[in-house]
Amino acid sequence: MVSLTGAQVPLTGAQYDLSAGDYRVTVTELGAGLRQLEHRGQPVIVGYEPDVLPPGAAGQLLCPWPNRVDGGHYAIDGRHYQLDLSEPANANAIHGLTRWLSWTPGPASAAPGGEEISLRLVLLGHQGYPFALELDASYRLDADHGLRVSVSARNLGSVAAPYGTGSHPYLTTGAAEVDECDLGLPAGLWQPAGERGIPIGGPEDVTGTEFDFRTPRPIGDTQLDHALTGLARGDDGRVWARLSSAGQVTRTEAARTEAARTEAARTEVALWAGPGYEWLQVFTGDTLGPSHRRKAVAIEPMTCPPNAFNSGVDLLMLEPGDSVTHSWGIEVTSA
């Protein structure tokens, strides 16, 4: 674990480095963000430099809501609130309030061997969110099972607080573009949304649509920026999403014969989401700048869908003193 001191501080603050087996991870003071995750020296997520703000929300932790609030406006028990419009182009409040704040090491900041870091933030009353939460984000590495992230919230205030959380990792297998990757998503429903990213109507069956990845298949030219639900879980209660390819391929290499492609070692990166994560937002990066466009797939575990502060769908109301914990993780399952 490394905490930077001195006159010069990178934009993302202190850097916390963990290692276990073939895995390496870096977590930042800014937003308790996941800046780097590597396996055998190869990136598993889109990373960035310490003195660069997370591109496209890469690796950011989203609290106390993921995704968007329509117009930044919502009502709880007849009282109306107006959040800052942090997505001004679409007149929405997006991705919560904590990703640009400084998190400090929590009471259990490191496990033996430097395999875990816990960061804490006390979120006091904010414009449009007059509630108080104690938030903890724990990142733990396991040599066999990769990264585990646990996010906890406790209501410190005197009234019930609306709450949801999500995370924003961009998964990569080393492929030059996501077109070359196979994607598996155990989601039976997709959520239609308008141009501003706000849901229209209820979730719909993925059967027969371009959003059906229940059987892993090539992404090709499919464009994804959608919330999916109806998630199939394993016996352990986890949902597994998988991205795979023949590793570091280029368009020239991609033109090889099928026989040659079969011989190439495949890389599979799996993201799991535990109980309480009822949604996955999947984004192929089509609206990002040229250096990031369709280079990786954001698979974002979310406890509630976009605009949950208005719809109430899967929104948690934490009573005073109540707490909740959600866990997700990333594992390289083949290489």
Over the stretch 216-252, which tens digit does the pLDDT of each residue have?
999 999 999 999 999 999 999 999 999 999 755 443 3
What parts of the chain have a pLDDT lower than 50?
3, 111-113, 249-263
pLDDT recorded at residue 17: 96
pLDDT recorded at residue 247: 54
Q: Answer yes or no: are the C-beta atoms of 70 and 310 closer than 8 Å.
A: yes
pLDDT recorded at residue 251: 39
pLDDT recorded at residue 114: 57
pLDDT recorded at residue 113: 46
What are the phi and psi torsion angles at 175 (to 5°)? Answer: -65, 150
pLDDT recorded at residue 106: 87
Tokens of 253: 């290499």
Instruction: Name residue 199's beta-bridge partners.
Output: 193
pLDDT recorded at residue 252: 39
Q: Which domains does the chain have, with CATH numbers?
A: 15-334 (2.70.98.10)
pLDDT recorded at residue 256: 43
CA–CA separation, 239 vs 215, rounded Å? 14
CA–CA separation, 262 vs 167, rounded Å? 33
pLDDT recorded at residue 107: 75
**pTM score, whole prediction:** 0.91
pLDDT recorded at residue 266: 81
What are the phi and psi torsion angles at 311 (to 5°)? Answer: -80, -30
Q: What is the largest CA-CA distance in the chain?
A: 65
pLDDT recorded at residue 254: 45
Q: Answer yes or no: are the C-beta atoms of 290 and 129 closer than 8 Å.
A: no
pLDDT recorded at residue 335: 58
